[in-house]
Structure 1
Amino acid sequence: MAIATRILLAGAALAGLAGAPALAAGKFRAPEGCTVYQTVQLHNCQVAQLYRCDGDAAGDQWTLYSDGQGPFYLSRIDAETRWVDSYDLTTGERDQIAEEADPASFSTLLETGRDSYDFTTKSNSGEVRRYHGFDELTGKTVVIDGITLDQTRFELTAEGADGERIYHRSGAQFIQRDWRVFFADREVFEGSDGDRREMAEGPVTFAAPDTPGYLAAEPEYDCNSQMTDAMPLPGGAS
């Protein structure tokens, strides 16, 4: 899909929000009233823009993911990394959090070393999905491009409204304590049709304002070997 088409779809998906992300001269431009605090280059030909907006609830933040063809996924989480809102920018599908039997809690993860979650989302097409699983600190930390990250172990199962499993994901992720965000690392994806894939989509470089690579719109790593085929999920489901 051409980059221009991706951007048009992004605009359509974000209609009704206070502004929409855009690309200008190879740089990402956040919506009015929003500020990008990190641009993160990821493995598997992805780049993420992490930003916060003045008009949002305290602790809310957004992440826009782009691949070699342009923006493809936008997510909004709150201070506890609860899945508030997400957009598939290739289809216009929007998912919002609905019922929560066990809300995700970043605070609980930091305080106890483990957090479980069980919640449902509903899309603008009416599809309902249930997500349940856990995140667990391993006690290990790593430093990537000067940023200290804690490693986690996780499992996540997605089910349809009928209770049938859609997919199961398991493996390792990272958290950044001060930013209150998750990043992918290495995981195994198992679909209901028997499809099984191993993925590595962890961070490679971080760029804060006024540093090289800040607001870069193009991914830099692994783009000649593999394009992304797994949609990131916010919070502990990333």
Structure 2
Amino acid sequence: MLRIIAPLALALAASAVQAANFTPPQGCQLQVTVQNRGCSVVQYYTCKADPAGDQRSAVFGKDGLQHLSRIDAETRWVESSDPNTGLADYLVERSKDHASFRTLLETGQDDFDFWTESNTGERLRHVGQDILTGEKVEIDGEPLEVTRFQLRTYGADGALLIERTGQQFISRKMGRFYGGIERQSDWTGQRQETNDSPVTFAFPGEAGFGDTEPKFDCDQLLTQLLHERA
């Protein structure tokens, strides 16, 4: 898998730098570009070689490509990677209770309990739930629904490593989750709150489609960084 992911990451980064515009790999098609709070912009695309229903994403920050991922039709985390470190994680098929987008839509709640394994051999257990709140919103013309979630990530030894809670958005039409306001704490005691809510959606032919330069909250992040260095 690394022999596939590494060239893919390099190709995506190169295409973005050359034209400041995202070009998906050969055999893939860009569906939508989403500008988020928190100084990130995400390219969502599909590839003919993937199973039906799979979607891929490439996340760009102020310094370029940050993250690659692929989900399936149930929004399961099939694979994800950091092109800067080479670290990659893959879904372990034999898990107790995989995430199910269909269950969430049909019942309003989806509980999950699944494992991932990294290319370094680290195994992590992810336990939590997604709940539809019943609240519906429209962002840049796109109808979305609000969710609440909680997620606990454990090491192979059972130790709690990361706890996340917050609010996200889903799109029934596009069959996926989008970020929101999240609170996170880890085993070191570090706590943080982030807001990755979508702000704009750009489809083919629209302004901003394929743009890899994030537009929202980047000045705020720079001010924070300068303050920390002072």
1:14 and 1:218 map into 2 onto residues whose CA distance is 22
Q: Is the 8 A contact 2:33 2:211 kept in 1?
A: yes
Structure 1 residue 220 corresponds to structure 2 residue 211: no
Residues of 1 paired with 2:95 and 2:7: CA distance? 25
Among 136, 148, 168, the residue aligned to 1:141: 136
1:162 aligns with 2:157: yes
How far, CA to CA, are the matches of 2:175 and 2:207 in structure 1?
Answer: 23
Matched, 1:14 2:30: no
Q: How far does residue 154 in structure 1 lie from its aligned partner after superposition?
A: 0.2
Whether the 8 Å CA contact 2:69–2:80 is kept in 1: the answer is yes
Greater share of helix residues, 1 or 2?
2
Give the superposition deviation at 1:194: 1.3
Unaligned runs of 5+ in 1: 1-10, 228-238
The answer to whether residue 175 in structure 2 is matched with residue 180 in structure 1 is yes
The change in CA–CA distance for 1:16 and 1:214 in structure 2 (over 3 A counts) is closer
After superposition, the C-alpha distances for 1:73-96 in whole angstroms (9 at most, x for unaligned) are: 111000000110110112101110
Q: CA deviation at 1:165?
A: 1.0
Note the C-alpha offset of 1:16: 6.4
Of residues 111, 114, 122, the one that matches 2:109 is 114
Conserved in 2, the CA contact under 8 Å of 1:18 and 1:32?
no
Distance, in Å, in 2 between the alignment partners of 1:18 and 1:194 is 32
- 1:15 CA displacement: 3.4
Unaligned regions of 5+ residues in structure 2, if any?
A: 223-230
Partner of 2:41: 47
Give me the TM-score of the superposition, normalised by structure 1. Answer: 0.87
1:32 corresponds in structure 2 to 26
Q: Is the 8 A contact 2:69 2:79 kept in 1?
A: yes
2:9–2:83 Cα contact (<8 Å) kept: no
Amino acid at match of 2:20: G
Runs of 4+ aligned residues of structure 1 deviating over 2 Å after TM superposition are 15-22
- 1:14–1:20 Cα contact (<8 Å) kept: no
CA 1:65–1:16: 2 relative to 1, 3 Å: closer
C-alpha RMSD of the superposition:
1.8
* Secondary structure at 1:29 match in 2: coil
Identity of aligned residues (%): 45
Query: Which residue number in structure 1 is paired with residue 190 of structure 2?
Result: 195
Letter in 2 for 1:151: V
Using structure 2 for the length normalisation, give the TM-score: 0.90
- Deviation readout 1:183-209 (Å, 9 max, x if unpaired): 111111111111111111100100000
Distance 1:72 1:18, change over 3 A: closer
Which residue among 53, 57, 60 is the counterpart of 2:54?
60
**Pair 1:67–1:17, CA change in 2 (3 A):** closer
Alpha-carbon distance in structure 2 between the residues aligned to 1:210 and 1:38: 10
Comparing 201-210 with 15-24, greater Cα deviation is found at 15-24
Taking a change above 3 Å as real, the CA distance of residues 190 and 27 of structure 1, as seen in their structure-2 partners, is: same
Moved more, 45-54 or 191-200: 191-200
